[in-house]
Amino acid sequence: SSSAVKGLKLLLEAMIERGDLYRLGIEKHPAEYGMYASILQATGMHRPVSDDSERWHFARPDPAERPGCAAVWDAITNVLRAAKGQRVSVRELYEVLRQPPYGVREGLIPVFLFAVYKAAEDEIAVYENGTFVSRIDFQTIERLLKSPDKFELQWVEIKGAREEVLRRLAPLVGLTAAEQKPLPFVLRLLGRIHGLPPYVRKTATLSQTALNVREALHHAVEPTTLLFEDLPHACGLRSFLVNGDASSADVEAFAERLQEALRELGGAYDGLLADLQTQIAHVFRLHTKSADERRHELAERARPLLPHATDTRLKAFLVRATDEILDTQGWYESLAALLAKRPPVQWSDEDHEVFGTALREVARRFHTLEPIAFEADQEAPEPEAPAADTRLLKRVRLSVTVQYEDEHEHVISIHPEDNDLITDVYRRLREAIEAEDVVLETKIAALAQLTNELLSERERTYKAHE
């Protein structure tokens, strides 16, 4: 019946998702519970790990109490083991279990298969249409029940040098000694890669080894082939599938290269964010060191410009630059998303280049607006009680106009922590000027010429990075 079919699907899903719970977490008495109670619980295929344990698991039925069920269980494991690492079609297992001496009804076969799979899921790999299935979900169950001929199972075992390879690699993904088997390792490795931002899965700005490892993981078809052949090849080493007597030096080299590649992949997005922060600090000549301090420094410079910005792109940038709600990483990501028109987590390398170009352009407009906004603010009515907080950034506008030459004008940001240094330089310059036996006008002219040269140098530096 349709209700029985639905109950079977829900039972199999519960077996996959909640195998460690009493009654598989099934509440009350729906159709799937009736199947569970009569097939799994009554036969002992699902039972507590120990008499005093609250955790349940799947295990082989007691042959003395349930010889028929134990025989079916053994038939499944024997067929898989006899294949010696080759894949076995689920349809073939159906045929074996339907025939004498087992005679299992087709509706029960999936329950036995899933029970065996859950009991040995660290050794049994599942394939659909020839591709390794890293996670079985409800949709996978539906497809398996509908088309078992499209699915295969594989008993994965390792021996010799491969055991040493796995022993050395296991700590890279946090496996304990009891978990040192190919499937748990591969599943954790694939989970790490699938959890990386799209940017990391697209960028070419990685070492060749990291790119090779990423490609091998992306195209993984079979766990043992991935672990002992594809990944060693990606790291520039020979296969451990055919090289059964691999030296400890080869194993160590593989572990070190794979670890470095995984570290590079895992840190690629953080590297992108660090580059964004460096570029922003560079084009705006931010003085402070930490990402958080630079954020507040740029926001303090951007805030006075907001009322005077007419360019829509610059105004949008200023609005985001003065945002006080986002955390520091989100703030940088917001600026980058505006300039590249896409969140950096989804960037390609081309988007990274677009960001750099757009950043330099918005910085140029920012620097152009600073003296204009400064002058407008100077003309505005002075506040009744101006704050005298020496911790705040102080802005100074310098302008030098030489007849028949271009005017040089800049707004300089003076940071509180530089006050002592500025005072020291000022005193030495003052002493040098006072020591000159010339009239005041000559001293001012010399200072004007020096200031003009320094402002010109500053302009050339900006233009060189546009």
pLDDT in tens, 223-277: 999 999 999 999 999 988 875 566 888 899 999 999 999 999 999 999 999 999 9
pLDDT at 387: 46
The DSSP letter of residue 38 is I
pLDDT at 386: 47
pLDDT at 377: 66
Residue with tokens 């102080």: 394
Gap between the Cα atoms of 109 and 460, Å rounded: 78
Cβ proximity of 371 and 397 under 8 Å: yes
In the beta sheet, which residues pair with residue 397? 411
Q: How far from 403 is each of 242, 406, 408, CA to CA, in Å?
A: 82, 8, 12
pLDDT at 321: 97
User: In 13-72, at which residue ranges do the beta strands (DSSP E only) sit?
Assistant: 46-48, 56-58
Assign 3-state DSSP to the chain and report helix, strand, coil percentages, each to 5: 60, 5, 30
Gap between the Cα atoms of 83 and 49, Å rounded: 29
The pairs formed by 292-295 with CB atoms below 8 angstroms and a separation of 24 or more are 292/328, 295/328, 295/331, 295/332
Gap between the Cα atoms of 350 and 340, Å rounded: 9
Cβ of 29: how many Cβ atoms within 10 Å?
A: 9
pLDDT digits (tens, 9 = 90+) for 355-374: 999 999 999 999 889 888 88
Cβ-in-10-Å burial (0-12, 13-18, 19+) of 15 comes to buried
Two tokens, residue 393? 């950034």
pLDDT at 378: 64
Q: Give the residue from 420, 374, 370, 417 showing the smallest Cα distance to 393.
A: 417
pLDDT digits (tens, 9 = 90+) for 322-367: 999 999 999 999 999 999 999 999 999 999 999 999 999 999 999 8
pLDDT at 465: 55
Taking the chain (466 residues) in consecutive chunks of 10 residues, what is each chunk's mean pLDDT?
89 96 94 94 95 92 96 97 94 96 94 97 94 93 96 88 86 84 91 92 96 94 91 93 74 94 96 97 89 94 92 96 96 98 97 96 91 73 48 69 72 76 86 87 85 79 61
In the beta sheet, which residues pair with residue 412? 396
Task: Transcribe 235-301 into DSSP letters.
Answer: TT---TTT-TT--HHHHHHHHHHHHHHHHHHHHHHHHHHHHHHHHHHHHTT---SSHHHHHHHHHHH
pTM, to two decimals: 0.76
